[in-house]
């Protein structure tokens, strides 16, 4: 059976949430991890917990040189990089008409350019070791939600980046996958629910399983299985895969009807709540330095 034992895994966005929990799970399975984030104090706590099987590097995925330094630290400590989990990502709030442009740009910078920088930095070592790269996309790549345009677009971009990369490196012995999750109980979703009653209302109004939030543990298990088996697609929960096959239907007039019915109420409410907050992203993102808001 496939195993991560003895493998070296680079994980971005690993200070907390899915990234940190995946690092913990991988170390328990005998892997070594190189973890990065912009949240210095939380990253240090996670690294201390993981011990000698972990190297942590304070690094912003929007900075290619920082990611190259992170990879270099991992190679110096463990000899190379076998697997990559390009996990770092954020979201912004509000309609295209009203979202803070700086927040929108930062979402795209982290969620797309950050994936590119992570892969670009690690790829020489991954090629040498004939490894595997898992790019974290989202259900939002093929089922967009109103008020989250930057997130939707960036996750679609991340999926297509992974698909193009696969074509480039398969003959070199490298496999590439993309992960697509519905709502997971991460800081990103928790913050959105806390900040915006419109977000919680939109979520509650979605049909069937689309309204449910999945635990971080289930997502971590799926990510670990994806890394072990070098999967082309990772879906969390599994039914997300069926929606991937139906993406043409989802964005058809019939598929969009529910969101179109909600939007006249939800979008003005969300924009009003964002204006009252005075920010188009979570306070956590601003405090960590991931986003510096410019104002409208």
Closest to 86 measured CA to CA, from 50, 127, 119, 60: 119
Q: How far apart are CA 272 and CA 88, in angstroms?
A: 28
- DSSP H or E run through 98: none
Specify whether the CB–CB gap between 61 and 72 falls below 8 A.
no
The catalytic position among 93, 132, 151, 235 is 151
Mark whether 151 is an active-site residue.
Answer: yes
Helices 197-204 and 257-277 pack at an angle, to 10 degrees, of: 160
Report d(CA 293, CA 296) in Å as an integer. 9
* E strand intervals along 130-276: 132-136, 175-181, 233-236
Can you tell me the distance from the alpha carbon of 200 to that of 237, in angstroms, rounded to the nearest whole number?
20
Q: Is 86 left (phi over 0), alpha (psi -120 to 50) or beta?
A: beta
Q: Which of 58, 71, 66 shows the shortest CA–CA distance to 131?
A: 71
Contact predicate 36/56, CB 8 Å: yes
Q: Which residues are catalytic?
A: 151
């Amino acid at each position: 059976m496939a195993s991560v034992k003895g493998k070296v895994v680079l994980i971005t966005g690993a200070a907390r949430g899915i990234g940190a929990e995946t690092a913990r799970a991988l170390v328990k399975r005998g892997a070594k991890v190189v973890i990065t984030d912009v949240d210095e104090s939380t990253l240090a706590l996670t690294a201390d917990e993981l011990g000698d099987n972990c190297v942590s590097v304070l690094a912003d995925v929007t900075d290619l040189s920082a990611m190259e330094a992170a990879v270099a630290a991992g190679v110096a400590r463990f000899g190379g990089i076998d697997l990559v989990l390009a996990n770092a990502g954020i979201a912004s709030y509000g309609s295209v008409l009203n979202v803070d442009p700086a927040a929108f740009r930062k979402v795209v910078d982290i969620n797309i350019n950050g994936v590119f920088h992570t892969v670009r930095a690690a790829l020489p070592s991954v090629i040498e070791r004939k490894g595997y790269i898992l790019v974290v996309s989202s259900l939002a790549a093929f089922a967009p939600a109103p008020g989250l345009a930057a997130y939707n677009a960036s996750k679609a971009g991340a999926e297509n980046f992974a698909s193009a990369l696969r074509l480039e490196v398969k003959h070199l012995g490298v496999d590439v996958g993309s992960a697509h999750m519905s709502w997971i109980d991460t800081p990103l979703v928790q913050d959105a629910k806390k900040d915006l009653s419109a977000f919680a209302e939109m979520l509650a109004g979605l049909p069937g399983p689309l309204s449910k939030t999945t635990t971080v543990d289930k997502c971590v298990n799926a990510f670990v299985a994806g890394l072990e088996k070098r999967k082309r697609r990772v879906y969390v929960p599994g039914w997300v895969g069926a929606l991937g096959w139906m993406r043409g239907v989802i964005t058809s007039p019939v598929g969009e009807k529910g969101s179109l019915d909600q939007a006249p109420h939800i979008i003005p409410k969300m924009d009003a709540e964002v204006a009252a907050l005075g920010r188009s992203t979570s306070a956590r993102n601003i405090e960590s330095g991931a986003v510096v808001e410019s104002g409208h």
